[in-house]
Amino acid sequence: MGSKLNRLYASVATMCAVGMTHVLMPLPSNHDDVSVKKDDESLPQRISRMGTAEAAPGKTKMDKPNIVIMLADNLGYGDLGCYGGGEIRGMPTPRIDQLAAEGMQFTQFLVEPGSTPSRAALLTGRYSIRSGLSLVVLRGSPNTLQKREITLAEMLNEVGYDTSYLGKWHLGMEAHSQPQNQGFDDFYGILNSTDEAFFVQSMKRAGYTPTESERAYVWKGVQGNKAESVKEYTLDVRRTIDLELADRADTYIRKQAKSKKPFFLFVSWTRPHWPNLPSKDFEGRSHIGDYGDSVMELDYNTGRVLDAIEESGIEDNTIVIWMSDNGPWRTMVWPDGGSAGPFRGELGSAWEGSIRTAGMIRWPRHIKPGKTNGMISIMDFFPTLAQFTGAKIPTDRPIDGIDQSTWLLGKKDTSNREHLLTFIGGDLVAVRWRHYRIYLQDVVQAGNGYIRMGGTQANRLPKNGYPLVFNIEADPREEHDTGPSESWVVGKYMPLVMQYYGSLKKYPNPKPATITDFGER
Ligand SMILES: [Ca+2]
């Protein structure tokens, strides 16, 4: 790791010496023909649903950039060095900090308040409530990723990409919901979440013998087939799973770099989701225990993926997107959880700390390095990557993601987004408009915790006819309701809400996800 650190400083020095000037590459004007390469019954139907009028300025097949998405799990806004954490928090993150310096780092990267919702939003380009996935999928939930959804992987697959998924999925265990049947050519990882590694022990202690299907596994899958279990996802395997993912990512990148076909690799790290048991080499590395060790391991594994890209000579033609799926899980798992930095809130609630987290994109010679506070949603990558690759976005459904390509490529100075809705289960809970946050329900603390952090165990209360309004720039902890003095904001948010409800008339949502309200079922 010492040599890697040396290389980090060397490359930062080089960047400074040569100056990272912003050179825009022209985007070709024609997109190539889509060749259908797989035998999937639903495919012709899916292609017809994608429409033909959305001819993004694509590229010839040879020119299409490779895409590597790395997704951290439950990493908070305040955890990484480049967001004010890192060494200050006893857990340096040099590789991710370097990536942030080489790319565009978002300080207003907004997600949904949980693993499943954010992943659904990322992969479909839509609010998760539109696919019935606005709560975390637990075993037994009927709400899983359905065939009718068109994923980012399907979209890229259609324009010639090899697609591979490594790591945590959390969009359902049914065969049709699994990654290899949602547009990825292959899959290796876990279908649910890392806390499942604990469950077998807990079941046994309860005197319950889990059935084979109730045990947690590591799975592998090939497109068109049901995934097969590889081994049990035990606590020992939990320690080493991300090293395995990094190994597989390394192998995949080096192999694909020699192919003429562009690739889309999705690395869904299991860290730093509780339980953060580190692998042997990282035990005791941080100052703050398992959580810090795990974040340092996440940083190291990220570095391995970046090294594979660089050493394969494809750095300039590879878009790297690195982000977390939601804010930290904190109160319930302390001290095995992260920090939302200056913001109140954590995974599960609608407070800012739940939905604002780390996000960055690197595309050398196309995207100018720098830090930006423009607003961007995890949904925006769907239409933006379609624009970068010549893929076609579906025209038969609402797409909530906004194409940010003009902003990212420096053709305009400001983000194309200025609002975002936040749902929990079947409810619209909060709305962002510019730097205002408007709450239709109040999120209040329940369970333990010193302050009103919200989180998965919070309560929500209906408001007494008037929403809460917070100015997130003046008041990052959302402690002072400015509704009375800035009630004009209500006039700005209401049309956004009405626009969303208007879309439901033509495109009604499926039944919302619920784990507590079965009245209408
Ligand atoms: Ca998560």
* Ligand 1 centroid from CA 79, angstroms: 14
Alpha helical stretches, state H, 103-186: 115-124, 152-158
* Ligand 1 centroid from CA 235, angstroms: 19
Look at residue 136 in the predicted model and tell me its pLDDT.
Answer: 93
Cα gap 438→15, rounded to integer Å: 41
Task: Answer whether residue 28 shows pLDDT above 50.
Answer: no
When the pLDDT of each residue in the chain is averaged and rounded to a whole number, the result is: 88
Exposure string over 353-376, b if 16+ CB within 10 A, otherwise e = bbbbbbbbbbbbebbbbeebebbb
* Ligand 1 centroid from CA 73, angstroms: 4
pLDDT over 70, % of the chain: 86
Cα gap 376→139, rounded to integer Å: 31
Task: Answer whether residue 481 shows pLDDT above 80.
Answer: yes
Stretch (H or E) spanning 143: none
* Ligand 1 centroid from CA 114, angstroms: 5
Cα gap 330→59, rounded to integer Å: 44
* Ligand 1 centroid from CA 495, angstroms: 31
CB 346 within 8 A of CB 333: no
CB-CB neighbours of 146 under 10 Å? 16
* Ligand 1 centroid from CA 70, angstroms: 13
Amino acid at 103: G
Look at residue 52 in the predicted model and tell me its pLDDT.
Answer: 38
* Ligand 1 centroid from CA 8, angstroms: 29
* Ligand 1 centroid from CA 194, angstroms: 10
Average pLDDT over residues 32-36: 33
CB 110 within 8 A of CB 143: no
Task: Answer whether residue 2 shows pLDDT above 90.
Answer: no
* Ligand 1 centroid from CA 118, angstroms: 8
Look at residue 449 in the predicted model and tell me its pLDDT.
Answer: 53
Look at residue 9 in the predicted model and tell me its pLDDT.
Answer: 36
Q: Which residue has the tokens 């300039």?
A: 316
Task: Answer whether residue 520 shows pLDDT above 60.
Answer: no
CB-CB neighbours of 35 under 10 Å? 9
Q: In order of start, what are the domains of the chain with their CATH numbers?
A: 42-417 (3.40.720.10), 421-506 (3.30.1120.10)
| Strand-by-strand arrangement of the 468-471 sheet | 419-424, 427-433, 436-439, 468-471
CB-CB neighbours of 171 under 10 Å? 28
Paired tokens of 76: 């908070």
Cα gap 475→479, rounded to integer Å: 7
* Ligand 1 centroid from CA 153, angstroms: 20
* Ligand 1 centroid from CA 82, angstroms: 20
Residue 474 C-beta-side C-alpha neighbours within 13 Å = 10
* Ligand 1 centroid from CA 326, angstroms: 5
Instruction: Please write the tens of the pLDDT for every residue from 48-99.
Output: 444 433 334 444 445 899 999 999 999 999 999 999 999 999 999 999 999 9
* Ligand 1 centroid from CA 273, angstroms: 7
* Ligand 1 centroid from CA 310, angstroms: 28
Strands 66-72 and 217-222: unpaired
* Ligand 1 centroid from CA 288, angstroms: 21
CB 242 within 8 A of CB 270: yes
* Ligand 1 centroid from CA 136, angstroms: 9
Task: Answer whether residue 107 shows pLDDT above 80.
Answer: yes
CB 165 within 8 A of CB 153: yes
Look at residue 518 in the predicted model and tell me its pLDDT.
Answer: 83
Task: Answer whether residue 43 shows pLDDT above 80.
Answer: no
CB-CB neighbours of 446 under 10 Å? 15
Cα gap 135→143, rounded to integer Å: 9
Instruction: Please write the tens of the pLDDT for every residue from 256-314.
Output: 999 999 999 999 999 999 999 999 999 999 999 999 999 999 999 999 999 999 999 99
- Alpha-carbon distance values, 502 to 127, 143, 365, 400, 495 (Å): 15, 23, 41, 13, 10
> Where residue 42 falls among pLDDT bands split at 50, 70, 90?
very low
* Ligand 1 centroid from CA 257, angstroms: 30
Measuring CA to CA, which residue among 363, 251, 241 is closest to residue 304? 251
Look at residue 460 in the predicted model and tell me its pLDDT.
Answer: 86
What is the pTM assigned to this prediction?
0.88
The angle subtended at Cα 241 by Cα 213 and Cα 259, nearest 5°, is: 105
* Ligand 1 centroid from CA 338, angstroms: 12
As to burial, measured by CB atoms within 10 angstroms (0-12 exposed, 13-18 middle, 19+ buried), residue 450 is: exposed
Look at residue 62 in the predicted model and tell me its pLDDT.
Answer: 54
As to burial, measured by CB atoms within 10 angstroms (0-12 exposed, 13-18 middle, 19+ buried), residue 498 is: exposed
Instruction: Please write the tens of the pLDDT for every residue from 394-417.
Output: 999 999 999 999 999 999 999 999
* Ligand 1 centroid from CA 41, angstroms: 32
* Ligand 1 centroid from CA 397, angstroms: 26
* Ligand 1 centroid from CA 2, angstroms: 31
CB-CB neighbours of 329 under 10 Å? 26
Cα gap 364→375, rounded to integer Å: 22
CB 353 within 8 A of CB 328: yes
Cα gap 112→119, rounded to integer Å: 9
Average pLDDT over residues 197-214: 91
Average pLDDT over residues 329-340: 92
* Ligand 1 centroid from CA 345, angstroms: 14
* Ligand 1 centroid from CA 362, angstroms: 23
* Ligand 1 centroid from CA 44, angstroms: 33
Q: Which of 62-66, 176-180, 475-479 has the lowest mean pLDDT?
A: 62-66
What sign does the dihedral 393-399-401-406 (CA atoms) show? Answer: positive
* Ligand 1 centroid from CA 109, angstroms: 15
Give the list of residues 6+ apart from residue 503 with CB closer than 8 angstroms, or none: 398
* Ligand 1 centroid from CA 162, angstroms: 26
Measuring CA to CA, which residue among 231, 228, 260 is closest to residue 162? 260
Look at residue 36 in the predicted model and tell me its pLDDT.
Answer: 32
Look at residue 15 in the predicted model and tell me its pLDDT.
Answer: 38
CB 96 within 8 A of CB 361: no
Task: Answer whether residue 255 shows pLDDT above 80.
Answer: yes
Task: Answer whether residue 40 shows pLDDT above 80.
Answer: no
* Ligand 1 centroid from CA 145, angstroms: 16
Give the list of residues 6+ apart from residue 85 with CB closer than 8 angstroms, or none: 76, 78, 79, 91, 93, 339, 341
Average pLDDT over residues 123-140: 95
Q: Which residue has the tokens 């165990």?
A: 457
Paired tokens of 519: 């009245």
Q: Which residue has the tokens 């637990």?
A: 138
- Strand ranges, E, within 86-183: 104-110, 162-167
Instruction: Please write the tens of the pLDDT for every residue from 241-254.
Output: 999 999 999 999 99
* Ligand 1 centroid from CA 462, angstroms: 26
Cα gap 274→197, rounded to integer Å: 10
* Ligand 1 centroid from CA 85, angstroms: 19
Average pLDDT over residues 356-385: 98
Task: Answer whether residue 515 shows pLDDT above 80.
Answer: yes
